[in-house]
Structure 1
Amino acid sequence: MADLQLYQWIWPLRQPSRTRPTDKPMAVLGLGMPRTGTESLKAALEELGYATYHGFEPAGNPGDCVTWCNLIEQKNKTKTMKMTTTKTAGKVEPLTAKDFDKVLGHCQAVSDTPSICFADEMIAAYPDAKTILNYRPNIDAWQKSITAVVGRNEALIGTLIKRVLVLFSPELFWLQQHVNRIDFDTLWRGDIIANATTVYKEHYAHLEKTAPPERTLRWCVQDGWEPLCELLGKPVPNKPFPHKNTPEEQQKVLAKRLWPLARDAILRFVLTMVVVAAGGCWLWARWR
C-alpha cells in the first residue's frame, strides 16, 4: 500500500466517490472470463434495464483505476492475513459493498475485468445479486482469441507508451498500474499466454462450487435472451441478441480512449525535454 500512496502523490488523479441509490441495488454479477461475450452481455443487460460496468470502463475513467488498485491491494492483504498466524501483522477488513460502491455505485451489473478478479468478494458483498457465468463452449477457440488480443494490444500500445509516456500522464500511469496489478498479476498470474487455459478452467471450476446455485446461470452467447430473462424475471426483448466486441471493435475502442491520453503525454514529454535542454544550455553557458 505504501507504493500506491507514493504513486498517488507523484501521479495524482481524482478517484470516484460514487454512492448507490437505495432503489437500485447491485442485481447482476457477470463473472465470466474475458472474450466470452462480456461486451455482448453488457449490451443485453443494459437492454434489460441494468446499467453495467464493463472492462472498458477504466479506460474511459482512469480515476477508477486508482480505486481498483487500492481494492486489489486490500484483497491481497486480507488473503495474506488469513494465511498467517502473526498477531502483529495488523488487521485488514474484508471488502464490502461500501468499498465496491465507491466505483460501482452507479451500476446495477458488472461484466468482465476487473470485477471477475473480485468474484468471491462481490458474491459475498451483494448477496441478493444474480450470478452469470458466461463462457465459451470451445476452450481452444477461446485461448486462440485471448492470444490474438494480447498480440494486437501489444502492437497498439507499444513500448513508447508503456515505458515512457506513462511517466508524463497520470491517466496512462494508472491505466498501466491497473493492467499490471489486476489483469496481469492477479488474473493471469504473470503470464497470459502460458496460464490462460489453466486460469480459465480453474476460474469456472471454483465459481461453480462457490456461487449460490439457486441464483447462478451458466450461459453462453449462443443461448440468447431466454435463459437470461428467465433468471432475471424480465420479458424477452423483441430484437436479436446483441453481438459486440469483435477484435476490430475492441481495437477501435482502445484507440479512441488511449490516443488522446498519449497525445497529451507526448506534448508534456516534448515540453519537458525543451525545458531540460534549455536549462542545460544555460548552465553550460554559465560554466564555460
Structure 2
Amino acid sequence: MKVIVAGLSKTGTKTMCAALKILDYKVYDNFEHYWFHTKEWMKIMETGGTINMFREMYEDVDAVTDQPACLFWEQILETFPDAKVILTLRDEDSWWKSYKFQLEELNRDVPSKIFNFVPFMYSHRFLKDFCRVGFGLDVSYFLGQVCSTNEMVARMKFRQHNSYVLQNAPKDRLLVYNVTEGWQRLCSFLEKNIPDEPFPHKNVKAKYLTELKRDSEVARNLWLYYKIGVFLVFAIPVLFALYYAF
C-alpha cells in the first residue's frame, strides 16, 4: 500500500482513482472494495477490523479510494505505515449539492442501473452500514428508492471527518488536495513524472455507473454475465415451450 485517499465520496474520488491508475498504481475503489472484500468490510463496519485483516485485503494493492476505505484510513495507515495520505477536499456547499444530486440520481435510476447491474453488491445492509458509520444516518432502500438523508447531519459529518484527518494524519505524508489542481502538486507529492495525457475528470453529474461499466474490466465482465443470465432466464422457458409444443 502506497497511497490512501482519505477524502469522502463526492470530493473527486473517482477522478483520483483514474489519476492514480494513469500513474501506474493498482487502485481499489468502492467497486473493488465491495466486490472483492464484501465479507471483510461488513465485519469491519459492524464490529471493527484488525491489522492482519487489512494486510490480507490490501497487501497487493497500491492505493485505495472512496468508501468505505476512506472512513478507515487511519487503520489502513497503521497497517501500512509507509503509505502516503491524500485528503481530497472541496467546498462544503458544492459537496452537499453533489452528494444530494447523487442520491437523487440513484433514486431515479436504482431499478435500471443498480439492481439490474450488481444487485448483490449494493445491498440493503451494505448501504445502511456505510451511512451509519460514515454519516450517522439511517438510510435504506425501499422499493428501489434510496431514502433521503439529513442535510445537517451529513454536513456535520463532512466537517468532522475532514478535521480529524487534518489533525491526525502525519504532516510529512499528507497532501490536502483539490482535484481541480491537476497533475503538478499530485505528482510532486507522489514523486512521479507528470503524464503526457490530460488530468481525468470522472463521475460528472453522477455518471459513475455508466463510467464503471465502460472503464472497469471486472464491471464489464459482470455486466456481460448478467445480460447472459437474464437472457437465459427468459430464453430457456421459451425453448422448452417450443420444444413440447412441436
- Helix, strand or coil at the partner of 1:235: coil
Task: Please name the residue that 2:39 is paired with.
Answer: 66
| Cα shift readout 1:213-254 (whole Å, capped 9, x = no counterpart) | 000000001111111111111111122211111135314247
Q: Write the distance in 1 (CA, Å) between the matches of 2:155 and 2:228.
A: 36
Are 2:93 and 1:145 aligned? Answer: no
> For the pair shown, which has the larger CA radius of gyration, 1 or 2?
1
- Helix, strand or coil at the partner of 2:50: coil
Task: Please name the residue that 1:43 is paired with.
Answer: 18
Are 2:59 and 1:105 aligned? Answer: yes
Task: Please name the residue that 1:29 is paired with.
Answer: 4
TM-score (norm 2): 0.75
Gaps of 5+ in 2: 139-148, 237-246
The alignment covers a number of residue pairs equal to: 215
Higher relative contact order (CA 8 A, sep 6+): 1
Gaps of 5+ in 1: 1-25, 76-93, 166-170, 272-288
Q: CA deviation at 1:34?
A: 0.7
Task: Please name the residue that 1:117 is paired with.
Answer: 71
Task: Please name the residue that 2:119 is paired with.
Answer: 172
Q: Write the distance in 2 (CA, Å) between the matches of 1:248 and 1:204.
A: 22
CA pair 174-215 structure 1, distance change in 2 beyond 3 A: same
Q: Which has the higher helix share?
A: 1
Q: CA deviation at 1:49?
A: 1.6
| Moved segments of 4+, more than 4 Å | 253-268
Task: Please name the residue that 2:144 is paired with.
Answer: none
Higher mean C-alpha deviation, range 103-112 or range 245-254: 245-254
Query: In the alignment, is the contact (CA less than 8 A) between 2:137 and 2:150 conserved in 1?
Result: no
Task: Please name the residue that 2:133 is paired with.
Answer: 186
CA pair 179-254 structure 1, distance change in 2 beyond 3 A: farther
Q: CA deviation at 1:68?
A: 0.9
When the two chains are superposed, the root-mean-square deviation of aligned CA atoms in Å is: 3.0
Q: CA deviation at 1:51?
A: 0.8
Match of 2:181 among 220, 223, 245: 223
Query: In the alignment, is the contact (CA less than 8 A) between 1:42 and 1:111 conserved in 2?
Result: yes
Task: Please name the residue that 1:156 is paired with.
Answer: 109
Task: Please name the residue that 1:212 is paired with.
Answer: 170
Query: In the alignment, is the contact (CA less than 8 A) between 2:6 and 2:69 conserved in 1?
Result: yes
CA pair 248-172 structure 1, distance change in 2 beyond 3 A: closer
- Helix, strand or coil at the partner of 1:172: coil
- Helix, strand or coil at the partner of 1:242: coil
TM-score (norm 1): 0.65
What amino acid maps onto 2:137 in structure 1?
G
Are 2:100 and 1:127 aligned? Answer: no
Task: Please name the residue that 1:10 is paired with.
Answer: none
Are 2:50 and 1:95 aligned? Answer: yes
